[in-house]
Structure 1
Amino acid sequence: MRALFLFVSITAVLQAAAQLQPIGRWREHMDYRSGKRVALSANSVFTATEFGAYMVSRNEGEITRLSKVSGFNDVGVRTLNYSVADEKLLIAYKNSNIDIFYRNDIINIPDILRSTVTGDKAINNISFYNSKAYLSTGLGVVVIDLAKYEVSNTFLIGNSGGNVQVNGFAADATRFYAATEEGLKVANQSSVNLNDYRNWTNISGTNGLPAGAVKQVFIINNTIAVQYFNTIYVLNGNSWQAVYTDAWRWESLNVSDGSFLLCEERFSWGDRRVLVLSSNGAITTTVQNNNQLRYPMHAVKSGNEIWIADYEKGLVKAEATVFERYNINSPYGPLDGELFFHKNKLYVAGGSVNAAWNYQYNGTGFFTYDGNEWKDYNRFTLPWMDTVLDVIAVTVDPRDETIYAGSFGGGLVELKTGNSFKIYKQNSPLNVAVGDPNNYRVGGMAFDLNNNLWISNFAGSNNFLVKKADGNWRNFRVPFLVQDNMVGGIVIDDADQKWIQVPQGNGLFCYNHGTSIDNTGDDRWKWFQTGRGSGNLPSNMVNCMAKDKDGFIWIGTDKGIAVIQCPGDVFTSNGCEAFQPVVQQDNFAGLLFENEDVRTIAVDAANRKWIGTLNGVWLISADGEKVLQRFTAENSPLLSNGIIRIAIDQATGEVYFSTFNGICSYRGSATEASENPDKVIVFPSPVPAGYGGTIGIRGLPENAIVKIVELNGRLVYQTRALGGQAVWNGRDYRNQRVASGVYLVLAKDEFGAEKQVGKIVFIK
């Protein structure tokens, strides 16, 4: 068992003291908009979303995230439910892992996840009876003992004892009811062996209940009710009677507070609503508001309050004609596109392409995040973006903050401050994709130091373009024969050369435009592939590139990393080829990530490299010779081992990871150097009693030598800044925690002058 709020409470103290994220702290930025399941306790409302869950206080409206960062064990919620009698919330994840939240404790039950049994282990529904949770799964019914926190039984009740998908489960005083794809199955609770399918009877097709799959079963006002397609049947004596039916598409049917709650949609009109029905099928309340309620997925009731999980609006409370929304500001979807920082603001492209570089019809658009608030730019907030799908690249003009978003099919968006916009497609310098009319694909973008915007025009006849700083355009055709004229991401080196990814296992190009962009006579191109004399890449499958602070080009492939340390010599007689660094780890040295599929590389303020793969994240030293840290979904709050992109806020050191399950971030120890050491910030300050985390000293000269001394001048600790930030664990050279009191921070600048730059106060 782990305490949920211990970490959160410590963090709150630190934030109040310093207003900065503690070093080593994680945050998640998952999709909390897509509400799909809701449950009630006496004091709280619990909402499941596509990727996480959150809790709302019914009295104060305070929202608490229930995520890996706050102590939960997984990501991607499939369903949840709350046992009022046991005061326990059960969360079932998409991978069939289970968490039980009881007061401030989180108990993980991974038995179904770890089970080697074959078949569909997905948990479709959760019911409670006599301190046990009954999980309706694709295998049968799995029983969880809520007192012992263990799997106590499994009912495999398919025909002939096989697996069967169970959609719902209920119990009255004497019998169990399982709604299965084979029909409604009933068993006496007193049966000796309920795991024996022969103790279960399929009663569908008898006494007025149609044969075939049953979607749900409920106990309502001491009566058995079932959902059969779009009809509710209630057991009246010994016969079943249909009490309600309609022609809408039913999203969910639930029983709460003695009523049926039906979420449904009418396809022909696009109408969506929540109906409250009495036990005899009479409609007592209709909740329908297209502005406050868009895609109701599930609902519960408490008195006059109807709580609705809405796929677009999150959690909505409807009371009479008053609607109140409880949602967390967040992006939506996993956001697979480019991550990019400009002036401490994160820009995220929400779209993606598949492995074959085909478009996905993703209308997510792109997002910005300023450290506190996410903002959307897509067809829902900007109607003119309705044709701009699959935004995979984003960048910003440093002169006026104009945003450029590259769509893989919908052209190039130019969005200026104030939301004036232009879309470059037909009647623009962008070329239509060869063989795909009306399709304009941007594969990558980058601004050079002269404010020229370089663009990869994937599949265009002239597939490389530049929008010059003066607004004029130039088109180029890559002089190599590549299928579909494919070109992707762009990195620009210190010599103003363009390194261009060539997707689908075709290596990369290097382009030098010579003395002038307009003079193509001195243009030079080089194609980097595997093999000595051809570039010496470890693989032609280039996934990513990054330029470090030494000007080296780091290349991530599906077979590890290569580094080009002489980019300025690419077109000299000596040439320049890639080499693979040798890394030291656990007393063994080998080629860096030789067998790892490296998806992304980012460089922090200390020139260290953050490497994202399909097996988690590595932090390696500036020279690539030593592994400093490794994060996985198993040893950290990282949301997934599948890493898509990494971006770093150089001012704060916070590292953002885009994963298969969404975005999370980690407060790293390196920040950019300060030009004004009089503005050094120490955090947390004061240091709370019992704090065992890392103390950050931010705003230092680059790579400064930092000393921690007592007021009498005695040296306590010495270190070197990582970029513009030094870190200290609060212990002296004997590894003893220092006593309470005041300590001075001294920093030596590049000229060797030492001066006091800050103080650290330790509280008893």
Structure 2
Amino acid sequence: MIKKLAVSILFCIPLLPLAQDFSALWQGHFSYNNIKDVAKGNNKIYAASENAIFSLDLQTNELSTLTTVNGLSGETISTLYYSDVYGLLLIGYENGLIEIAFDDDEDILSIVDIIEKPTIPPTSKKINHFNAYNNVVYVSTNYGISVFDIERLEFGDTYFTGNSGTQTRVNQTAILGDYIYAACLDGNGLKKAPLSSPNLIDYQNWQTLSTGDFLAVQQAENSLYALRTNRRMYRVANDVLTEVFQYPDAPVDIKATDNRLLATTKNNVFIYDSSFNLISQANVNTAFNTTFTSAITDSETIYIGTKHFGILKTSISNPTEYEEIHPDGPLLNIPFAIQSGENQLWVTFGEYNLFYNPYPLNNRGISQLNNGSWTNIPYTNLFDAKCLTTISINPSNNNQVFIGSFFSGLLEVNNAIPSMLYNQSNSSLESLILPSNPSYVDIRVGASVFDENGVLWTLTSQVENALKSFNPSNNQWQSYSFKQFRTELGFPEITVGNDGTKWIAGYWNGLIGFKENGNAPLIKNISTEEENMPTHNVTAIALDKRNQLWIGTERGLRVLYNTSNFFTEENIRAEEIIIEEGGIAKELLFEQNIRDIEVDGSNNKWIGTADSGLFYFSSDGQNTIFHFTTDNSPIPSNTINDISLDGANGIVYIATNKGLVSFQSGGSSPLGDLESAYIYPNPVRPTFNIVEQKVKIKDISENVNIKITDIEGNLVAEAQSRNNQRYRGYNLEIDGGTAYWNGKNLANNVVASGVYLVMLSNLDTFETKMLKLMLIR
């Protein structure tokens, strides 16, 4: 349902695009621990985290989520309101966006008028509060009050209530009797105006009851209360303010519900009746050491929004025991690095800036997605390891994980239990040296990777022996000198080639190649314009299945096509990829800041950027298969921090600076043989849309030929790995370890019911396998 906004005094170009539901192929993995606001309606409690919402059904206790996968924008939420009359949830954002989720419609309505109004500074567009009265909603913002007709879904007037009609921050409005009241900041005080006035856009019709800064104004039954920034609550009667209480901490949320007044501070929730008699008080306790952010009540229960535990539920009559309520999810919505393994994904939340500075140091836990369920390990269990970043899963033992700390060393985790922190006292890891403070310890372990022998290779910044190897099977460490390179900043990535060469992305040093070569290590780098490098700052690297090295930098993409002669060739050059666009030759990803590069089972490339979203390219980069942004996908931000591929299940995990999502690409990594190959669904029944959903031939080998014939031997479809790759419009397509058939024959017609033979041939080993498929139309 798309409804056009009417032209108003403030909003001249109304726009209401309808957000798309992406739930078929996408999944959100958001954190619901840090609650921004709570609301009540439709026998549900609604709670908003930074950019996702969940609801608790008060009758069934069922939890439901609303995320970017369902059509939310991914921007930062500031407030919520539910209208029982119109059956919809209003969602306000810090950037001025308003979205509406309807009870009877899966679509999300996005209202962008405030965002697109050029006369309002971007810092003044925050939505602070929704106050519904009859068929309108008074929207309190950082510029004033806008009136939104909730029945017609259109804006009306806008009130600039500052002195002389200037824009001013309005935190809340309330209505009592025939008047609307506004709690204003910027010294504009508490104001009121008659609701019946036809000219409230004239600031002179607004009367100032009290000067100063007010955080809130709320009506409880026939009483009105206002809160000043001095932490004092006042009863407002006959335009006179009478102080009734001073809070120990400034309240962060004031609400009125069921003729009660709720005041939430960081440590307490105070519940009053309409005469300001204290009914109940809930306090932070040791079982849930957190900060309160908001609260709402029903007849017998308090639902408290917190920073760390989602909603805490407790009884109004005895608010001492809490029940933690929120959907499953990671610790935070700021994933920095991710790494997938066998049916698992690890997430860290440490960070450093563009110059690899981890300060101010953060104390954050880690998260693991294991077979669909999240396990969160708090910082208190991590041996005080700060700024946890890169992750390496031991390929010979998926239960063993090593996580680099960009301050404390290297953390080892076994069976999801932190077991060891390697530092300067129990390993070869070294601290940087501060001449002014020789005893200071700061061990900045960055990128790490396992080689085929089960040895872990790590890089440490600001030390001469930056490259180190660690063998978990015998606890042996070795160190390798990087004295010819600048190590004061970072090494964001390392990968190991088939010949044992360690390829390293370096900030000052461009691309570094290192090979042990017995007792005479080979080490070399390319970073200059003469070597066709756009910058010395390499941010991402990936070796593809043709042993070509893809190099991401902060200013574009390069490829090292011949890696075998890197140490012997004098004039090594990286090459840009030239594509044709509209008849014009262009450089692929010209000047783009590239954050990560991953290679899938089809040798296609997933490339994440700092501000342009996620790209999916064909194996040679000549064709863009997908380009996901916030405009056409559920990624909550165009800033991609990391990508990880679950090749076995065809899942692409995407970490952005505003949350984690995954995309079911459908492809998988090829196997070494055809022994496990199978078809699904089988049989294909009439209810299955074979053209759209396609039959999958799973667990095939890398270089394979596939022929599909009818029972009489007539050829129906044929494909070969290197020719009929996916996304090229073939009826039979191969994507790594999975082939897709849309049920059409060589004449491009859907085949009839019957038994079909699928003949697989491994072109490398000459292994063959025949499968049967029953198709019923």
TM over 0.5: yes
In 2, Cα distance between the equivalents of 1:422 and 1:151?
59
Which residue of structure 2 lines up, in the alignment, with residue 467 of structure 1?
Answer: 470
Which residue of structure 2 lines up, in the alignment, with residue 364 of structure 1?
Answer: 364
Amino acid in structure 2 at the alignment position of 1:160? S
In 1, Cα distance between the equivalents of 2:175 and 2:772?
66
Judged with a 3 Å threshold, the aligned counterparts in structure 2 of structure 1 residues 149 and 713 are, in CA distance, closer, same or farther, namely: farther
Contact kept, 8 Å, 2:218 with 2:224, in 1: the verdict is: yes
Task: After TM superposition, list the pairs within 5 Å mapping 1:238-257 onto structure 2.
Answer: 238-257=239-258
Deviates more, 1:660-669 or 1:358-367: 358-367
**Pairing partner for 1:110 from 109, 112, 115:** 112
Which residue of structure 2 lines up, in the alignment, with residue 408 of structure 1?
Answer: 406
- Secondary structure in 2 aligned to 1:358? coil
Instruction: Confirm whether residue 177 of structure 1 aligns to residue 178 of structure 2.
Output: no
- Secondary structure in 2 aligned to 1:726? strand
Instruction: Confirm whether residue 148 of structure 1 aligns to residue 140 of structure 2.
Output: no
Aligned-residue offset at 1:129: 1.0
In 2, Cα distance between the equivalents of 1:260 and 1:424?
53
Amino acid in structure 2 at the alignment position of 1:447? F
Judged with a 3 Å threshold, the aligned counterparts in structure 2 of structure 1 residues 96 and 84 are, in CA distance, closer, same or farther, namely: same
Which residue of structure 2 lines up, in the alignment, with residue 18 of structure 1?
Answer: none
Deviates more, 1:580-589 or 1:212-221: 580-589
Amino acid in structure 1 at the alignment position of 2:400? T
CA distances 1:329-375 after superposition (whole Å, capped 9, x unpaired): 11132344332223342222221110121114222233222240122
Amino acid in structure 1 at the alignment position of 2:668? T
- Secondary structure in 1 aligned to 2:192? strand
Which residue of structure 2 lines up, in the alignment, with residue 663 of structure 1?
Answer: 660
Which residue of structure 2 lines up, in the alignment, with residue 16 of structure 1?
Answer: none
In 1, Cα distance between the equivalents of 2:768 and 2:605?
30
Judged with a 3 Å threshold, the aligned counterparts in structure 2 of structure 1 residues 33 and 149 are, in CA distance, closer, same or farther, namely: same
Deviates more, 1:682-691 or 1:345-354: 682-691
In 2, Cα distance between the equivalents of 1:43 and 1:711?
58
Contact kept, 8 Å, 1:529 with 1:540, in 2: the verdict is: yes
Amino acid in structure 1 at the alignment position of 2:762? E
Identical-pair percentage: 26
Which residue of structure 2 lines up, in the alignment, with residue 530 of structure 1?
Answer: 528
Greater relative CO (CA pairs within 8 A, separation 6+)? 1
Which residue of structure 1 lines up, in the alignment, with residue 326 of structure 2?
Answer: 327
Contact kept, 8 Å, 1:746 with 1:754, in 2: the verdict is: no
Query: How many matched pairs?
Result: 725
- Secondary structure in 1 aligned to 2:573? coil
In 1, Cα distance between the equivalents of 2:485 and 2:700?
50
In 2, Cα distance between the equivalents of 1:463 and 1:636?
40
Amino acid in structure 2 at the alignment position of 1:557? T
- Secondary structure in 2 aligned to 1:69? helix
Aligned-residue offset at 1:732: 5.5
Which residue of structure 2 lines up, in the alignment, with residue 556 of structure 1?
Answer: 552
In 1, Cα distance between the equivalents of 2:594 and 2:170?
41
CA distances 1:489-536 after superposition (whole Å, capped 9, x unpaired): 211112211122222x44132111112xxx3xx11211211223xx43
CA distances 1:510-567 after superposition (whole Å, capped 9, x unpaired): 111112xxx3xx11211211223xx432222211111111121111012221111222
CA distances 1:220-276 after superposition (whole Å, capped 9, x unpaired): 1122211123222112345322223232342222111111122223xxxxxx23221
- Secondary structure in 2 aligned to 1:601? strand
Aligned-residue offset at 1:694: 3.2
Contact kept, 8 Å, 2:733 with 2:741, in 1: the verdict is: no
Instruction: Confirm whether residue 449 of structure 1 aligns to residue 440 of structure 2.
Output: no
CA distances 1:101-143 after superposition (whole Å, capped 9, x unpaired): 2223232211112222232101111111112122111111122
Judged with a 3 Å threshold, the aligned counterparts in structure 2 of structure 1 residues 300 and 756 are, in CA distance, closer, same or farther, namely: same
In 1, Cα distance between the equivalents of 2:205 and 2:470?
74
Judged with a 3 Å threshold, the aligned counterparts in structure 2 of structure 1 residues 173 and 738 are, in CA distance, closer, same or farther, namely: farther
Task: After TM superposition, list the pairs within 5 Å mapping 1:604-683 onto structure 2.
Answer: 604-613=600-609, 614-674=611-671, 675-682=673-680
Contact kept, 8 Å, 1:143 with 1:152, in 2: the verdict is: yes
In 1, Cα distance between the equivalents of 2:253 and 2:57?
24
Which residue of structure 2 lines up, in the alignment, with residue 77 of structure 1?
Answer: 77
RMSD: 2.7
Contact kept, 8 Å, 2:349 with 2:365, in 1: the verdict is: yes
Amino acid in structure 2 at the alignment position of 1:405? I
- Secondary structure in 1 aligned to 2:354? coil
Deviates more, 1:569-578 or 1:134-143: 569-578
Deviates more, 1:726-735 or 1:132-141: 726-735
In 2, Cα distance between the equivalents of 1:162 and 1:574?
68
Which residue of structure 2 lines up, in the alignment, with residue 264 of structure 1?
Answer: 265
Judged with a 3 Å threshold, the aligned counterparts in structure 2 of structure 1 residues 278 and 439 are, in CA distance, closer, same or farther, namely: same
Contact kept, 8 Å, 1:277 with 1:285, in 2: the verdict is: yes
Consecutive unaligned residues of structure 2, counting only runs of 5 or more, are 3-16, 719-731
Aligned-residue offset at 1:609: 0.2
Instruction: Confirm whether residue 276 of structure 1 aligns to residue 271 of structure 2.
Output: yes
CA distances 1:681-728 after superposition (whole Å, capped 9, x unpaired): 425965746687433432223353445556666655542421111224
- Secondary structure in 2 aligned to 1:409? coil
CA distances 1:302-321 after superposition (whole Å, capped 9, x unpaired): 10121222221112322245
In 2, Cα distance between the equivalents of 1:550 and 1:257?
67
**Pairing partner for 1:482 from 486, 493, 504:** 486
Aligned-residue offset at 1:761: 5.0
Deviates more, 1:300-309 or 1:584-593: 584-593
Instruction: Confirm whether residue 725 of structure 1 aligns to residue 738 of structure 2.
Output: yes
Amino acid in structure 2 at the alignment position of 1:653? G
Which residue of structure 1 lines up, in the alignment, with residue 5 of structure 2?
Answer: none
In 2, Cα distance between the equivalents of 1:64 and 1:692?
32
**Pairing partner for 2:298 from 302, 316, 322:** 302
Contact kept, 8 Å, 2:33 with 2:332, in 1: the verdict is: no
Contact kept, 8 Å, 2:148 with 2:154, in 1: the verdict is: yes
Which residue of structure 2 lines up, in the alignment, with residue 197 of structure 1?
Answer: 203
Contact kept, 8 Å, 2:540 with 2:552, in 1: the verdict is: yes
Contact kept, 8 Å, 1:442 with 1:458, in 2: the verdict is: yes
Which residue of structure 2 lines up, in the alignment, with residue 67 of structure 1?
Answer: 67
- Secondary structure in 2 aligned to 1:113? coil
Deviates more, 1:391-400 or 1:555-564: 391-400
In 2, Cα distance between the equivalents of 1:580 and 1:442?
31
In 2, Cα distance between the equivalents of 1:608 and 1:529?
26
Which residue of structure 2 lines up, in the alignment, with residue 748 of structure 1?
Answer: 760
Which residue of structure 1 lines up, in the alignment, with residue 346 of structure 2?
Answer: 347
Task: After TM superposition, list the pairs within 5 Å mapping 1:704-719 onto structure 2.
Answer: 704-707=704-707, 717-718=717-718, 719=732
Contact kept, 8 Å, 1:681 with 1:699, in 2: the verdict is: no
Contact kept, 8 Å, 1:276 with 1:284, in 2: the verdict is: yes
Contact kept, 8 Å, 2:19 with 2:110, in 1: the verdict is: no
In 2, Cα distance between the equivalents of 1:238 and 1:7?
49
The two structures have a TM-score, normalised by structure 1, of 0.89
Aligned-residue offset at 1:146: 0.9
Deviates more, 1:587-596 or 1:447-456: 587-596
Contact kept, 8 Å, 1:703 with 1:724, in 2: the verdict is: no
Aligned-residue offset at 1:679: 4.5
CA distances 1:265-299 after superposition (whole Å, capped 9, x unpaired): 3xxxxxx2322112222221122344257322111
Which residue of structure 2 lines up, in the alignment, with residue 157 of structure 1?
Answer: 161
Which residue of structure 1 lines up, in the alignment, with residue 773 of structure 2?
Answer: 759
Aligned-residue offset at 1:177: 1.0
In 1, Cα distance between the equivalents of 2:76 and 2:702?
41
Amino acid in structure 2 at the alignment position of 1:199? N
Consecutive unaligned residues of structure 1, counting only runs of 5 or more, are 12-21, 205-210, 266-271
In 2, Cα distance between the equivalents of 1:216 and 1:762?
65
Deviates more, 1:591-600 or 1:163-172: 591-600
Aligned-residue offset at 1:599: 1.4
Aligned-residue offset at 1:430: 1.2
